[in-house]
Structure 1
Amino acid sequence: SVSVPDDRAEQRTCLICGDRATGLHYGIISCEGCKGFFKRSICNKRVYRCSRDKNCVMSRKQRNRCQYCRLLKCLQMGMNRKAIREDGMPGGRNKSIGPVQISEEEIERIMSGQEFEEEANHWSNHGDSDHSSPGNRASESNQPSPGSTMSSSRSVELNGFMAFREQYMGMSVPPHYQYIPHLFSYSAHSPLLPPQARSLDPQSYSLIHQLVSAEDLEPLGTPMLIEDGYAVTQAELFALLCRLADELLFRQIAWIKKLPFFCELSIKDYTCLLSSTWQELILLSSLTVYSKQIFGELADVTAKYSPSDEELHRFSDEGMEVIERLIYLYHKFHQLKVSNEEYACMKAINFLNQDIRGLTSASQLEQLNKRYWYICQDFTEYKYTHQPNRFPDLMMCLPEIRYIAGKMVNVPLEQLPLLFKVVLHSCKTSVSKE
C-alpha cells in the first residue's frame, strides 16, 4: 500500500481500530493489520465467539483480544467481502469494489457461518448453470472460467468440452489432447492433474504470430530525456504524459488495422470498441511491452518533479486507490514476465468485449473473444508447462486493468503528474532492490 508523504497521511486512521491507515482496503480506509485479518477471516470462513457482550472495544492495542468483535466491526463499517481474491490480488468483481452496507441479518449469517454454508450449497447446486463467455466472466467472477463456472466437485465431460472448444476455434481438436486443462478438471479432494506433454496446434501458432506481427514493439519515440539538475514542473510533466498517451493511442489505431480479424467486423464496431477500451489498451501495453521505458526513462523524468504541499493535500482518495492497484499490477506483470505472445492475446481478448453498448455484431465478437481465449490458454500451457496457474493469473489481470482504467477517469487531470510520480518511484525502487 502507498501513503502520501506528508502530514495528511498521519490523519488517515483505520476505521476499525484507529491505527494508522495505509490506504483503501476492501472498500474502506484501514490499516494493514485489519486488512489482513478481514481477508483471512473471510477466505478461511472463520467463525469466532465473543466471551463478553459482543461489544468489545477496538483499538490498536486491544484489537487482537476479541476476533469476533473485530470481524463484526469490519462488516459494520462496510468492508466488502466480495472484493477479496484468495490469490492475493486486491479487489474483486468490478461491481463489488467499494464499501457495502449490509443488513443486520446478513451480518449475523456471516458471523454464525450460515452464509458460508449457503454459498457452498449454491455453488454445489448451480455451479455449472452459467454459460456466459470467457471474456465477460473474466471481469465478473473471482476465477476466470471459459464457457461456464464449474463446481469444485465436478469436472466437464471431456467430449463435451472438446466439442464446445472446437465450435469456437474453428478447427478439429488434435488426438493428443488426453486431459482436460486444469481450469476444467479439479475436485475438492484431489490435486490438479499434472501437466502433460503437448504441442501447439499450427492454426493457433499462426494466429498468435499474426497478433504479434500486428504490434508495434519498437521503443516509444516520445523524447523522455531531461538534463541533470533540471526541475520539471507539473505543467511540463503533464504535457509529456499527454504526448505519450497520444503516441500510444496512435499505435492502438494502427494495431486495429493489422488484426487478423479486421475484415470480420464493421468500422462502426471497431469505433465503439476503441472508444471504450483505449485506456485499457494503453495501460496494458505500458505495464508490459513498454514497461522498461515507462518505468525507466519516464520514472527518471518524474523523479525531477517535486509536487507542492497544496498538490499533496488535495490528492484524492480515487488517486490513492489507483496508485495501490497500479503498483500491484506492475509487480504482478513483473513477476510473470509476460511474453509478447501472451501480451498480444491478452490485448485482443480485452479489446473484443461484446458487452459494450452500440455494437452491431455482439455474437460474432463473443466467438472471436473465445477463440483467442483458448489460443492464449493453449500457448501458456504449451510454453509454460510447469506453471499450471499462469493462464488464470494472466486472465485475472484483465478485469483489474478495466477497473483501474475506469477509476482513472475520476482522478482530476492536475493530479496525474503526482500519481505517476508515486507509482513509478515505488515500482522502480522496489525492483532495484530485488
Structure 2
Amino acid sequence: MNGYGAALRYQYINTSVPTHYQLLPHLFSYAAQSGQITPQLTPQLTPQLTPQPSGVYPQSHPLVLQLVAAEDLSPLATPMLIEDGYQVSQVELFALLCRLADELLFRQISWIKKLPFFCDLSIEDYTCLLSSTWQELILLSCLTIYSSHIFGELAEVTAKYTPSDEELQGFSEDGMEVMERLIYLYRKFHQLKISNEEYACMKAINFLNQDIRGLSNVSQLEQLNKRYWYVCQDYTEFKYAHQPKRFPEIMMCLPEIRCIAGKLVNVPLEQLPLLFKAVLHSCKTSLNNYRSSQSPCVTSAPGN
C-alpha cells in the first residue's frame, strides 16, 4: 500500500468509534450541569397539552421554526477525500461508514438537548427513545438534510470500492430487500422535495414514539406526539395548499423508515459496504435518468 493508502487506513481504521448511545445519561446530565442546556419556552409559543383538530394552532409556524433551530444543518465533518485512482478496500469503507454513523449519532444527541420540549420528559425517557430510534433518525437525515453529502461525496468513495466475487455471492436476501426499499424511499423523497421544516417535524414525530417499551411518561409523550403531528399538518396544508395529499404522503414515509431501520439490523456487518455501494449507485443512476428524461419520477412501493 502506498503512503496515501497507509494514511487513509490510519485515518479511518486506527480511530476508535465511540458508542455514544451507551453513555447517554452521562452526556445529557453533563450538558445540563455545565449550563449548555437552557431550553426556554415562552408562553405564547407553547400550545396546550391537549391536542386540538388541525387548523387551531396560530403558533404552528413559530413551533416549526423552533424545531428547525434545533437542527445542525452544517455540512458533515467526516473527511471523505480520496485520491484519484485509489481503490478503497472493504475494511476502509466499513471504517468510514462507522465514522460517519458516529458523527450522525452525536448530532442526534445534540439535537435532543436543543428541543423546545426538552424539559418535559426525563433523561431516562430520552435515553430510551434515542436508543430505540437513532437508526431511524440517521436514515431520515441522510435522505433529507445531508442527502447532498451522502449521495455526493460518500457515493464517490463507494464508487472506488470493488466488491469481490465472494462478497457479491454472499449478499443476503435481507440486504436485497433493504436495498430495494431504500431506493424506493430515496425516489419518494426526491419526488416530494422535503423541506427543512417538514423534515424537522417528521423527525420529532418519529422520535416521540409512545409505543416504545420502557418509557415512564407515556401520556405526556403521546400529547407531545399529537401536538407536533397537528403542527406539521397545519404548516404543510398552509405552505402547500395546492398539494392536498402532501401531508399524508409525508407521514406515510415514517413507517417505511422504521421498517428499513428494523431490517438493517439483520444485514451482516461485513455486507454493509456492498449495500451502501449498491444503494448509492442505484439512487444516483435513477436521479440522472430522471433529470435526463425531465419526466415525473414514477415510484412503486416494494412488496411487503
* Fold agreement, TM-score > 0.5: yes
2:104 partner amino acid: L
1:362-401 paired onto structure 2 within 5 Å: 362-401=218-257
Residue 256 and residue 167 in structure 1: after superposition, are their counterparts in 2 closer, same or farther (change >3 A)? closer
1:412 aligned partner: 268
2:165 aligned partner: 309
Query: Given that residues 222 and 243 in structure 1 are in contact (C-alpha distance below 8 angstroms), is that contact kept between their aligned partners in structure 2?
Result: yes
In 1, the alpha carbon distance for the partners of 2:276 and 2:166 equals 17
Query: Given that residues 280 and 405 in structure 1 are in contact (C-alpha distance below 8 angstroms), is that contact kept between their aligned partners in structure 2?
Result: yes
1:307-386 paired onto structure 2 within 5 Å: 307-386=163-242
Q: Which of residues 39, 50, 53 in structure 2 aligns to 1:168?
A: 50
In 1, the alpha carbon distance for the partners of 2:49 and 2:91 equals 53
In 2, the alpha carbon distance for the partners of 1:288 and 1:173 equals 26
> Shift of residue 166 of structure 1?
7.4
The answer to whether residue 118 in structure 2 is matched with residue 266 in structure 1 is: no
Q: Secondary structure at the match of 1:168?
A: coil
In 1, the alpha carbon distance for the partners of 2:220 and 2:214 equals 14
Residue 230 and residue 367 in structure 1: after superposition, are their counterparts in 2 closer, same or farther (change >3 A)? same
TM-score of the superposed pair, with normalisation by structure 1? 0.55
Deviations 1:176-211 (A, max 9, x none): xxxxxxxxxxxxxxxxxxxxxxxxx44211111110
Query: Given that residues 166 and 172 in structure 1 are in contact (C-alpha distance below 8 angstroms), is that contact kept between their aligned partners in structure 2?
Result: no
The answer to whether residue 284 in structure 2 is matched with residue 402 in structure 1 is: no
In 1, the alpha carbon distance for the partners of 2:54 and 2:212 equals 31
1:382 partner amino acid: F
Q: Which of residues 208, 215, 219 in structure 1 aligns to 2:64?
A: 208
1:280 aligned partner: 136
1:175-254 paired onto structure 2 within 5 Å: 201-254=57-110
Residue 406 and residue 173 in structure 1: after superposition, are their counterparts in 2 closer, same or farther (change >3 A)? closer
Residue 415 and residue 381 in structure 1: after superposition, are their counterparts in 2 closer, same or farther (change >3 A)? same
Residue 315 and residue 303 in structure 1: after superposition, are their counterparts in 2 closer, same or farther (change >3 A)? same
Structure 2 unaligned regions, length at least 5: 1-46, 292-304
> Shift of residue 169 of structure 1?
3.6
2:220 partner amino acid: Q
Query: Given that residues 53 and 230 in structure 2 are in contact (C-alpha distance below 8 angstroms), is that contact kept between their aligned partners in structure 1?
Result: no
Structure 1 unaligned regions, length at least 5: 1-164, 175-200
In 2, the alpha carbon distance for the partners of 1:310 and 1:411 equals 16
Residue 252 and residue 172 in structure 1: after superposition, are their counterparts in 2 closer, same or farther (change >3 A)? closer
> Shift of residue 167 of structure 1?
6.4
Q: CA RMSD in A?
A: 1.7
Deviations 1:50-102 (A, max 9, x none): xxxxxxxxxxxxxxxxxxxxxxxxxxxxxxxxxxxxxxxxxxxxxxxxxxxxx
Greater relative contact order: 1 or 2 (C-alpha under 8 angstroms, separation 6 or more)? 2
> Shift of residue 171 of structure 1?
10
1:182 aligned partner: none
Deviations 1:395-416 (A, max 9, x none): 0000100010010000000000
Deviations 1:139-172 (A, max 9, x none): xxxxxxxxxxxxxxxxxxxxxxxxxx97634799
Residue 227 and residue 347 in structure 1: after superposition, are their counterparts in 2 closer, same or farther (change >3 A)? same
In 2, the alpha carbon distance for the partners of 1:331 and 1:323 equals 12
In 1, the alpha carbon distance for the partners of 2:176 and 2:77 equals 30
Q: Secondary structure at the match of 2:59?
A: helix
Compare the two structures and name the one with the higher helix fraction: 2
In 1, the alpha carbon distance for the partners of 2:179 and 2:54 equals 45
In 2, the alpha carbon distance for the partners of 1:388 and 1:327 equals 25
